[in-house]
Amino acid sequence: MTELMKRLALFSLLLLPSAAVTAQPDVPVEQWSGKTVLFIGAHPDDDSRSHGTLSLLNANGNDVHVMLLTLGNVGTKDPDLSMIELAQIRRQEEVNALGQLGIPEQNYINLGYDDGRLEYADREELIERIVFHIRRLRPNVVVAFDPGQGEQRWHKSDHRAAAYLAADAARAAEWPLLYTGHLVNHGMDAYQIEEYLFYDTDDADTWVDITGHVENKSNAGAQYVSQWGPEGQYKYYPTLTAEQEAEARERIRSRILDRDGTPVEAFRYHEGVPDAIGR
């Protein structure tokens, strides 16, 4: 083998990891059916970034579950609301939003941590609890914040924590000697997730056509009444006026990505072992 051929062979090998992570799903997301999908986020409303895709997947016969790590019980500037009151409001808003997507309340999981403090929670406890639900549900696909490709993504604190917790839990779930209580006490098996859609990403390579689900997305997003107060002040109003509801829906529609005239949601797709999520 000549020196040039050796260099070309080495160059080809160096390209392989990059090529692997930019591969698209063999079956487009719009055609997925019969899969179990687990969305993981930090707060009630984080799933709104993917509401069009979740609505589409649910309509196509996939079993869609949403797991949020915090109660969303801090994000208000209304001094008259307690943390418990706000948590109750945010739970009902989330259930209402998922209802607009056709996702039943029993498919909503909330781990109950305080908003704004995920980075200070017991990390091993958190990962064990996420792993429990991964092994229980055995999802084909996890939808989560993008932890980064090649280097860490910057997210605000709870989002940053949720990104890494989801990735680390996905990896832990496949090893039977980690959290063996799941296997011994609950009859579960270790489980490896095969596909990922990472949202809130700088490295999007998959755009899901949400035509036909824009209305569901805007209706779902408008359910977060506690976050649609005037001028973005996060003040809670038990009901919105018709004008405020219309403004909320229009604001959601205005944020939807347009790709060649098609409404889309953007993701970074990964297939294979979780060790390669960031490569």
What would the pLDDT profile of 59-104 be if each residue is shown by its tens digit?
999 999 999 999 999 888 778 888 999 999 999 999 999 999 999 9
Give the C-alpha separation, 7 to 34, whole Å.
Answer: 45
**Residue 11 pLDDT greater than 70, yes or no:** no
* pLDDT value at 216 more than 90: yes
Over residues 191-209, the pLDDT tens digits come to 999 999 999 999 999 999 9
Give the phi and the psi of residue 30 in degrees, each rounded to 5: -60, -20
Q: Whole-number mean pLDDT of the chain?
A: 88
> pLDDT digits over 106-133, tens only?
999 999 999 999 999 999 999 999 999 9
CATH code matching the domain that covers 28-273, chosen among 3.40.50.10320, 3.30.530.20, 3.40.1410.10, 3.20.20.70: 3.40.50.10320
Query: If pLDDT is split at 50, 70 and 90, which confidence band does 234 have?
Result: low
Q: What is the radius of gyration, based on Cα positions, of the chain? A: 20
Spatial separation of the C-alpha atoms in residues 87 and 196, rounded to whole Å: 29
**In the chain, what are the domain boundaries?**
28-273
Cα angle for residues 175, 195, 64 (degrees, 5° grid): 100
What DSSP character marks residue 263?
E
pLDDT score, position 229: 59
Contact of 47 with 41, CB cutoff 8 Å: yes
For residue 24, name the pLDDT band (cuts at 50, 70, 90).
confident
Return the DSSP state at 32: -
pLDDT in tens, 78-90: 788 889 999 999 9
Could you tell me the pTM of the whole model? 0.88
- Check if the beta carbon of residue 199 is closer than 8 Å to that of residue 49: yes
Average pLDDT over residues 263-274: 94
DSSP state of 212: T
The contacts of residue 73 (CB under 8 Å, 6+ apart) are 83, 84, 86, 87, 90, 114, 115
Cβ contact 59:213 at 8 Å: yes
Whether the per-residue pLDDT at 18 is higher than 90: the answer is no
List beta partners, residue 207: 266
CA atoms 174, 128, 34, 262: torsion sign: negative
